[in-house]
Amino acid sequence: MSIIAVEDLKICVGGRVIIQDATFRIDEPSFVVIIGPNGAGKTTLLKTMIGLIKPVRGCIKILDRVVRAGERYPRSIRKLIGYMPQRDVINYAVPLTAREIVISGIVENLTLPRTVLPRDVDSLVNNIAGRLGIDNILHKFFDELSGGQQQKVLLARALVKDPRILILDEPLSNVDEMSRVEILEFLRDLVRRDGRTVLLVTHDVEVAMSWSDYVLLVNNGRAVLYSSKMIEDVNKFLRQYPEKDRKIVPSRSPYCA
């Protein structure tokens, strides 16, 4: 049974083809780092994987539940995924506290109008907040927090229900160096110890190099999965270019079928 399989996915946004062909498969609990230049379609691909954007072709399989282009995205798949959106799309003006935002990561998986919070909601929230070092800011409005604190609150929201799959869109941006390492260690433990699968977008090639089992390169309308054995090749390729000109263009097609 695969954990995630994406096949022949084509995605259009605003009348433009953003992803022409994404095909990759992850068969065991893995730490997958997604890299690619600005505007390449990383966020678009992740939003499609959680059903926020409908693909025009192809299919997505999450733990053997399949959704094809044109079909309604099943709630049963969404329940398996914890999603952290890229921070620039959050509406800061909504007057919610950090605690309320973390709790919304549990509530979104319950069926309204029968929504009853689990009795242990406080311990779930306090536990994840403690692990991310945000227990002392849970009472504050989200809008009052620093960029890095907001990132951690959104990460806690994605993690609070302990989902099988975590899809995290730039969770490390704005986060200080010490917290970055702590978060990466925490996520790696989730993969190694608890058998979760993490997909994490970053622009930090070092993170891709040092922490991932796989690197998913998104560029030129394609998404290509490299196993960790090939990460060195990816890195060598990237380092040929000055940082500002780095373009990620996979030259081979070794997606893991």
Ligand X SMILES: Nc1ncnc2c1ncn2[C@@H]1O[C@H](COP(=O)(O)OP(=O)(O)OP(=O)(O)O)[C@@H](O)[C@H]1O
* Binding region for ligand X (CB under 6 A): 13-14, 18, 36, 38-44, 86
Positions 39 through 68 that interact with Mg ion (CB under 5 A): 42-43
* Shortest Cβ 188–ligand X spacing (Å): 23
Q: How far is CA 66 from the centre of its chain?
A: 19
- Distance (Å, whole) CA 245 – CA 224: 20
Calculate the alpha carbon distances from 206 to 18, 133, 145, 238 in Å: 26, 24, 28, 11
Cβ proximity to ligand X: between 43 and 179 the closer is 43
* Helix, strand or coil, per DSSP, at residue 27: coil
Instruction: Name which of Mg ion, ligand X, none residue 18 binds, using a CB cut-off of 5 to 8 Å depending on partner kind.
Output: ligand X
Stretch that binds Mg ion, among 78-86, 206-214, 218-226, 229-237 (CB under 5 A): 78-86
Half-sphere exposure for 122 (CA within 13 Å, toward CB): 2
* Shortest Cβ 170–ligand X spacing (Å): 7
Cβ proximity to ligand X: between 40 and 190 the closer is 40
Instruction: Name which of ligand X, Mg ion, none residue 38 binds, using a CB cut-off of 5 to 8 Å depending on partner kind.
Output: ligand X
Number of residues binding to Mg ion, judged by CB under 5 A:
3
Cβ proximity to ligand X: between 38 and 136 the closer is 38
Burial track 139-170 (b if 16+ CB lie within 10 A, e otherwise): eebbeebeebbbbbbbbbbbbbbebbbbbbbb
Residue 112, classified by CB atoms within 10 Å of its CB into exposed (0-12), middle (13-18) or buried (19+), is exposed
Positions 123 through 182 that interact with Mg ion (CB under 5 A): none
Instruction: Give the footprint of Mg ion on this chain (CB under 5 A).
Output: 42-43, 86
